[in-house]
Amino acid sequence: MLRPLAAPRVAPSSRSLKVRGMSEQLQNWWRGGVIYQVYPRSFFDSNGDGVGDLPGVLHKLDYIASLNVDAIWLSPFFTSPMKDFGYDVADYRGVDPLFGTLDDFVRLVEACHERGMRVLIDQVLNHSSDQHPWFVESRSSRDNDKADWYVWADPKPDGTVPNNWLSVFGGPAWSWDSRRRQYYLHNFLSSQPDLNFHCPAVQDQLLDDMEFWLKLGVDGFRLDAANFYFHDLELRDNPPNLEIREGSIGVRVDNPYAYQRHIYDKTRPENLAFLRRLRALLQRYPGASSVAEIGCDESLRTMAAYTSGGDTLHMAYSFDLLTEQCSPAYIRRTVEGIERELADGWSCWSMGNHDVVRVMTRWALDGRPDPERGRVLMALLLSLRGSVCLYQGEELGLPEAELRYEDLVDPYGITFWPEFKGRDGCRTPMPWESEAHHAGFTGSQPWLPVDDSHRSLSVAAQDADPHSMLNCYRRFLGWRREQRLLIEGDIRMVYHDDALLVFERRLGEEAWLCLFNLGDLPRSYELPAQAVPLVDVPASFAEYDDHWARLPAHGFGYARLAR
């Protein structure tokens, strides 16, 4: 059994972070910050049970710090029956024994702070597990203390469901409970009943639970399904979606969920009042921040509403770069749409997470993941205006793992197989050593198999190669940290065609032209007469002559625009 790195025990009320201060710059670390998402189940197994855990994250923390990121985001580690692998919480203040103990978590937070990194944790507020004591009590009768903590509704006169709302995971969003003789709402699995945010006691309890973690030292929260919290009290039917298109709302069109416009079951106006209460809580802990997942038909407008004004969320991300669409035209349209809508709000960009096919496969040309393409996607993502979330393994250039049906554990994938293979392919274990048993992730059978294609991309193999994707990420992220223009500057799109995307970043009197060749053939772009090429950019491989930028396939470059 591996022993985690030693770290002092921190008192639950401690806020003495080396990284935290009262200066505005430290409080606003999240503006342009880079957040590394850790999926604990698949990161590193410290005790040999086949599942990654918090001591495993602690054991590999120096690796994360070597990437030059600003924070880590931990996917759920809470007490859970694991029907949805932690996104079904049975205790909002408990660490599931599968992942360790509360002391393990506190040691991890302190160790992150010692290395200058913040810690964000997932908060799954929309729903709990059906095994949570709150739901057990709520379903027991119609007149108990928590009777209205979940969304209950009587059947129609013919016994059918209250309305036409659908679950993201397929089928009606309502399940029958024989004890109450009512239906309960679940936007996801039937084992994930929706909490009733129209009940003030629910809001109070959830905010208290979040403050519990703030007192332990966390630096903020990633909010799962943040636009799902409230529902229409009249339970009106959703209208049909007459403009169905692949990837339009982050849900495949072979799922009936995409056939509705979800205007009554989520993204309700009441959400903003709760987000203001949440922001008021965070403001009592200087430097604490929030980033929310937004999944809806009008995601850009919702992001603006949820992050503008300085009194709701700090930042939000949508599914707009998590689809299969990746043309320069699409990326330009997405960025311009966000910039147009956001006003004083703030976006957080991501090209991958634990819910979508890995970007190296999803955005591959001709279906073949190419390391060179991985580099230009890295540079593009980290050059946009906003903050960034990187999903574990992106820095290794991992493609989507190919799994057999019998290997699947994701209920989403099992339901929609074979047209949709679920989320397991992006959740397989991190490959630490190429030749080691299970790629060094565990000493026993892992909860998901290690993909053979990942072995040659292991951390150990890339660590020794100065030209590897991993070392490219390290150098580029280290370089970006010193470029305030990329972190704070404005953005303006300049040009695009079938392969090239060109935009300007500007901060005060300084301006750069940022050029990206997303195609698989060399391309050239004529620079303005006053442009001065930046030649010290890690891994750019661009060449310049006679005011022309020569970009190789999957190449990128930058030029300073002289005044």
Which residues are annotated as catalytic? 224, 293
**Amino acid (1-letter code) at residue 336:** E
Nearest in space to 513 (alpha carbons), one of 550, 553, 557: 557
Place of tokens 């009733």: 196
Q: How far is CA 128 from CA 249, 266, 273, 557, in A?
A: 23, 17, 21, 47
What DSSP assignment string belongs to 96-158? -TTT--HHHHHHHHHHHHHTT-EEEEEE--SB--TTSHHHHHHTT-SSSTTTTSB-EEPPPTT
d(CA 218, CA 520): 43
**CB burial string 150-165: b at 16+ within 10 A, e below:** bbbeeeeeeeebbbbb
307-311: list long-range contacts, CB under 8 Å, 24+ apart: 307/342, 307/345, 307/346, 307/347, 308/342, 308/343, 308/344, 308/345, 309/344, 309/345, 310/344, 311/276, 311/279, 311/280
Peptide bond into 157 cis (omega under 30): no
E strands present in 447-542: 490-496, 500-507, 510-517, 523-526, 531-534
Indicate the angle between helix axes 271-282 and 299-307, nearest 10 degrees. Answer: 40
- The answer to whether 97 and 77 have CB atoms below 8 angstroms apart is no
Helix (H) or strand (E) holding 548, with range, is strand 548-551
- The answer to whether 554 and 469 have CB atoms below 8 angstroms apart is no
Q: How far is CA 510 from CA 33, 483, 526, in A?
A: 20, 11, 20
Helix (H) or strand (E) holding 285, with range, is none
Q: How far is CA 208 from CA 12, 375, 528, in A?
A: 15, 42, 55
On the CB side of 147, CA atoms within 13 Å amount to 10
Place of tokens 């935290």: 20
